[in-house]
Amino acid sequence: MMRATLWKLQARYSPYLFVSPFVILFCTFLIYPLGRSFMLGFYKTAGPRNQLFIGFDNYKFLFQDVLFWVAVGNTTLYVIMFLSIQIPLSLGLAILLNSTLVHARSFFRFAFFSTHLVGQVFVAVMFAQILSVRGGLVNGLLSLVVGHTVQINWIGDPYLARVSLVIASLWLSVGFAMIYFLAALQAVDQDLYEAAEVDGAGKWSRFIHITIPGIKPVLLFMILVGIIGAFQLFELPWVLFQQSTGPANAGLTIVSYLYVTAFQGGDLGYASSIGWMLVLIVLMIVGTFRVFGFGRDV
């Protein structure tokens, strides 16, 4: 009888036992650090053992911190440049590779997507070589085209460094976004196109009135995910600019400023406040999306 009771208890509570490793790990490595970093944002720290409560002073200082605003400016500029090219380019590729006129579509789909498999660090190392000022592939090709030696300092010049960063990011992510758009395009009802064609709608008209509404949820999802991902940019510029913030801080993003503050400057409190400001910025953008009704389909 006793044994049967034990087995019943086992049957009832074992699910909780089995999910407990996840819950414990989730709380230990996500909930606790989140709470701890939120609290740290109100302290001045020098290493984890020396803490001085300063209330909102870290946040107040952020507003007058030139480097923080340089980081915000760089990141915002990157987000705008990146998304305004990535979305149309990946959508265009998806439309192209969805067309029956293109041969070897599977090969091209894989080829474009494969860049995403290699990861940001690899791409950064590769682009550092390709964009090298002397002996780099890009300058080499440009030299061939114009007929004399071209030495554009793609990575060393602060303005071009930002462009280089966007180019490397696009190379990495256009194929990935293309796959999403491809799936969305294939889900659009073909009957609508046929009906529109019968009604005399042109290609552009069909694109605007059928394709775009058909893929709108995916389009908005990609924009939103792209914004969030772009605001968290770190590894690519960090490796591309040789573990630094780039020429004249052109590669300083919000996350790299957080990293430098926490792990090079040793100020975990101020770094935490930078992290929470990033959260706030992303939430504001997502909120704006919702307010204007863009995200309801996502």
Partner 1 sequence: MSLRVSVTIALGEEADVSFHLGKPILVMIVLAAISGLIIAYRPAPKAADLTVWVFADSHARTYRGDGTPGEHTLVDRYKEMTGQTVQVKLVNAQAINLRMNAIFDRNTNDGEVPDLCEVEIGSVGRYFRPPLKDVGWLPLNDMLDKSGWRDKIIASRLATWSSRGKIFGIPHDVHPTSLVYRADLFKEANVDLESAKTWPEFQQKCLQFQTYWREHGHPNRRAIEVQTASSDNLIIMMMQQHINPVDDQNKVYINDPRVAKTLAFCVECAVGPNAIGADITPGPSMFMRDLARGDICVFFMPDWRNGYIKRGCPEVAGKMRMMPLPIFNPGDARTASWGGTMVGIPKMAKDPQASFKLAEFLYLSKEAIAARRKTDDILPPVKAMWNDPEYQEPDPFYGGQRVGALYVELARELPPRLVTPFTSIALATLNRVVHDAMELGKEGHSGIDLEQRCQKLLDEAAEDVHKRIEFGKLEG
Q: Is 11 in the site for partner 1 (CB under 8 A)?
A: yes
Cβ proximity to partner 1: between 83 and 160 the closer is 160
Cβ proximity to partner 1: between 122 and 263 the closer is 263
Amino acid occupying residue 52: L
Closest distance of CB 40 from partner 1, Å: 13
Cα 272 from Cα 270, distance rounded (Å): 5
Residues whose CB falls within 8 Å of the CB of residue 251, separated by 6 or more in sequence, listed in order: 74, 161, 162, 165, 237, 238, 240, 241, 244, 245
CA quadruple 162, 225, 69, 36: dihedral sign: negative
Site string for partner 1, 261-290 (x = CB under 8 A): --xxxxx--x--------------------
The count of other CB atoms within 10 Å of the CB of residue 120 is: 19
Residue with tokens 């944002």, as numbered in its chain: 41
Q: Select from 37, 120, 132, 273 the one that contacts partner 1 (CB under 8 A).
A: 132
Q: Is 142 in the site for partner 1 (CB under 8 A)?
A: no
Q: Is 135 in the site for partner 1 (CB under 8 A)?
A: yes
Site string for partner 1, 226-265 (x = CB under 8 A): ---------------xxx-xxxxxx---------x--xxx
Beta-ladder partners of 51:
45
Q: Select from 4, 101, 145, 146 the one that contacts partner 1 (CB under 8 A).
A: 4
Cα 204 from Cα 137, distance rounded (Å): 37
Q: Is 155 in the site for partner 1 (CB under 8 A)?
A: yes
Closest distance of CB 42 from partner 1, Å: 15
Cα 106 from Cα 87, distance rounded (Å): 21
For the chain, list the strands marked E by DSSP.
43-45, 51-53
Site string for partner 1, 175-214 (x = CB under 8 A): ----------------------------------------
Segment near partner 1 (CB under 8 A), from 8-16, 96-104, 109-117, 281-289?
8-16
Size of the site for partner 1 (CB under 8 A): 52
Q: Is 33 in the site for partner 1 (CB under 8 A)?
A: no
Cα 167 from Cα 254, distance rounded (Å): 19
Cα 120 from Cα 115, distance rounded (Å): 10
The count of other CB atoms within 10 Å of the CB of residue 247 is: 17
Footprint of partner 1 on this chain (CB under 8 A)?
1, 3-4, 7, 10-11, 14, 18, 44, 46-50, 52, 57, 61, 64-67, 70, 128-129, 132-136, 149, 151, 153, 155-158, 241-243, 245-250, 260, 263-267, 270
